[in-house]
């Protein structure tokens, strides 16, 4: 009997999405399935905005960045509709049933995994694929999008070396990664950054300034500081930990809401942290400091060979799992194999950089300052 499969991409765009769509689509078509794409993430599922993914639509997209389906950050249970925010989960279930789908494939990061899990709990046959440049999805060795972003960030650091050297400056370069340091740590090591600051290791600005002053006294009158957008100083980290503890200990919903609001306010205050860090280092070292924020350039462009391969490999494995009627899983990359991992083991978990990770050891061994006194 012919199987009918829906597919959508949600969350931020990422290199390798089209490779994964193509991998799922071509393998599924080869198994005799029909593929329907939903435009713009879960909103397209709600609005029943579809595109038939046949061989013609899947042709030529392997090397294209972004996603041919479009994407959004809308959540099924908190969907803006007019001037209201509504739970549209049941509407999405109706769309699924209207198309007589046997499975829905959701490509995305941590938020998408959660939203897909909510639909799974409503009875839908769900399979997800891990996508994000942050590389922070649990239970998978890698997410497609990360390798491309790593290359872009590394090239940016490479280019910043010449201007930092020419003007004897500190260049503080902000790298994406949300609340994990994979991207900043990897590109910082590969690009030869002198200081790397990541969320997993709260930094002491005095330690960073000391490392830069030592470089200056040794004749290196410039420094590259690679800072993850989620990196925090020790005082801020302590405040966040205190508020999280208060939230956990709260006995009433009002107390929880207050603690949650305080955490959000602190994070908003922290949003210009890279600029603040640059000013502090300039004052502490006497060296001119400049900021470069890479931003969304890290998401764009042609996907790397690694991301094309990973997206294709996980996509084809996804089609096989649908054929075998294995649902409620994320297709994870573990070693050279694609492994179905139960979604409930993925949702609510984040893959942070372990403090004993070889990359951290490597950074320290080549003399890179990580913002802590070691």
Kindly state the average pLDDT of the residues 53-65.
Answer: 95
Does one domain contain both 112 and 209? no
Sign of the four-CA dihedral 174, 178, 179, 181: negative
Q: What are phi and psi of 49, to 5 degrees?
A: -100, 110
Q: Flag whether 368 is in a domain.
A: no
Q: Above 80 in pLDDT, residue 167?
A: no
Q: What are phi and psi of 270, to 5 degrees?
A: -80, -5
Kindly state the average pLDDT of the residues 47-51.
Answer: 96
Q: Flag whether 98 is in a domain.
A: yes
Does one domain contain both 267 and 204? yes
User: In this structure, what token pair is assigned to residue 78?
Assistant: 């908190």
40 is catalytic: no
CB 154 within 8 A of CB 191: yes
Domain boundary among 268, 299, 330: 299
Give me the number of domains the chain comprises. 2
Does one domain contain both 78 and 176? no
Q: Flag whether 341 is in a domain.
A: yes
Does one domain contain both 95 and 227? no
Does one domain contain both 162 and 245? yes
> Which domain range does residue 244 map to?
149-299
Neighbours of 86 (CB within 10 A): 13
Compute the distance between CA of residue 254 and CA of residue 252 in angstroms, rounded to an integer: 5
CB 109 within 8 A of CB 137: yes
Does one domain contain both 217 and 326? no
Domain boundary among 267, 299, 331: 299
Catalytic position from the list 134, 136, 147, 194:
134
Neighbours of 349 (CB within 10 A): 14
For 194-252, how does the pLDDT look when each residue is reduced to its tens digit (9 = 90+)? 999 999 999 999 999 999 999 988 888 889 999 999 999 999 888 888 888 888 888 78
**Confidence (pLDDT) at 165:** 80
Q: Which CATH number covers residue 294?
A: 3.40.50.460
Kindly state the average pLDDT of the residues 94-114.
Answer: 97
Q: Flag whether 365 is in a domain.
A: no
Q: Flag whether 24 is in a domain.
A: yes
Q: Flag whether 234 is in a domain.
A: yes
User: In this structure, what token pair is assigned to residue 316?
Assistant: 């084809």
pLDDT band at 262 (very low <50, low <70, confident <90, very high): confident
**Confidence (pLDDT) at 374:** 66
Does one domain contain both 167 and 294? yes
Does one domain contain both 134 and 177? no
Apex 144 CA angle, 93 and 36, nearest 5: 35
For 302-328, how does the pLDDT look when each residue is reduced to its tens digit (9 = 90+)? 999 999 999 999 999 999 999 999 999
Kindly state the average pLDDT of the residues 133-147.
Answer: 97
Query: Which residue, among 332, 11, 315, 358, has the nearest Cα to 143 in the 3D structure?
Result: 332
User: In this structure, what token pair is assigned to residue 106?
Assistant: 């959701």
CB 5 within 8 A of CB 34: yes
pLDDT band at 269 (very low <50, low <70, confident <90, very high): confident
**188 CB-near residues (< 8 Å, 6+ apart):** 157, 175, 196, 226, 363, 368
Does one domain contain both 317 and 294? no
Kindly provide the b/e burial profile for residues 141-152, where b requires at least 16 CB atoms within 10 angstroms of the residue's own CB: ebbbbbbbbbbb
Does one domain contain both 314 and 214? no
For 342-368, how does the pLDDT look when each residue is reduced to its tens digit (9 = 90+)? 999 999 999 999 999 999 999 999 999
* Least confident piece of the model among 164-173, 182-191, 257-266: 257-266
Compute the distance between CA of residue 319 and CA of residue 5 in angstroms, rounded to an integer: 9
Q: Flag whether 11 is in a domain.
A: yes
Q: Which CATH number covers residue 69?
A: 3.40.50.450
Neighbours of 131 (CB within 10 A): 33
Compute the distance between CA of residue 82 and CA of residue 292 in angstroms, rounded to an integer: 38
Q: What are phi and psi of 122, to 5 degrees?
A: -85, 0
Q: Flag whether 53 is in a domain.
A: yes
Q: Above 70 in pLDDT, residue 6?
A: yes
Kindly state the average pLDDT of the residues 75-93.
Answer: 93
Q: What percent of the chain has pLDDT over 70?
A: 100
- 290: buried, middle or exposed (CB in 10 Å: 19+, 13-18, 0-12)? middle
User: In this structure, what token pair is assigned to residue 104?
Assistant: 């829905």
User: In this structure, what token pair is assigned to residue 99?
Assistant: 């198309």
Q: 173 has which bridge partners?
A: 226, 292
Domain boundary among 299, 318, 335: 299
Does one domain contain both 171 and 34? no
Does one domain contain both 98 and 236? no
Kindly state the average pLDDT of the residues 42-48.
Answer: 96
């Amino acid at each position: 009997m012919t199987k009918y499969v829906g597919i959508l991409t949600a969350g931020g765009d990422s290199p390798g999405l089209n490779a994964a769509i193509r991998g799922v689509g071509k393998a599924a078509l080869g198994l005799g399935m029909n593929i329907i794409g939903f435009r713009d993430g879960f909103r397209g599922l709600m609005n029943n905005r579809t595109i038939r993914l046949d061989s013609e639509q899947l042709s030529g997209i392997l090397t294209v960045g972004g996603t041919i389906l479009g994407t959004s950050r809308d959540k099924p249970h908190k969907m803006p509709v007019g001037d209201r925010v509504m739970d549209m989960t049941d509407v999405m279930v109706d769309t699924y049933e209207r198309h007589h789908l046997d499975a829905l494939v959701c490509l995305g990061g941590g938020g998408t995994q959660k939203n897909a899990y909510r639909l799974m709990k409503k009875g839908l046959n769900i399979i997800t694929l891990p996508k994000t440049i942050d590389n922070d999805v649990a239970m998978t060795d890698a997410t497609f999008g990360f390798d491309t972003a790593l290359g872009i960030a590394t090239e940016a650091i490479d280019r910043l070396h010449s201007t930092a050297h020419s003007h004897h400056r500190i260049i503080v370069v902000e790298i994406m990664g949300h609340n994990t340091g994979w991207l900043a740590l990897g590109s910082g090591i590969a690009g030869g950054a002198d200081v790397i600051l990541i969320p997993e290791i709260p930094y002491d600005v005095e330690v960073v300034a000391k490392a830069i002053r030592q470089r200056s006294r040794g004749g290196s009158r410039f420094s590259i500081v690679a800072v993850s957008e989620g990196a925090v100083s020790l005082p801020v980290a302590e405040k966040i930990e205190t508020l999280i503890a208060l939230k956990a200990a709260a006995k009433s919903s009002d107390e929880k809401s207050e603690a949650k609001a305080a955490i959000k306010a602190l994070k908003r205050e922290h949003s210009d942290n890279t600029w603040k860090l640059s000013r502090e280092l300039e004052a502490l070292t006497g060296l001119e400091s400049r900021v470069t924020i890479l931003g969304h350039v890290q998401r764009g462009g042609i996907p790397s060979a690694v991301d094309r391969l990973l997206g294709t490999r996980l996509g084809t494995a996804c089609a096989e799992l649908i054929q075998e009627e294995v649902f409620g899983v994320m297709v994870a990359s573990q070693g050279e194999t694609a492994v179905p991992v139960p979604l409930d083991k993925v949702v609510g978990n984040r893959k942070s950089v372990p403090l004993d990770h070889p990359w951290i050891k490597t950074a320290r061994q080549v003399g890179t300052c990580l913002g802590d006194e070691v």
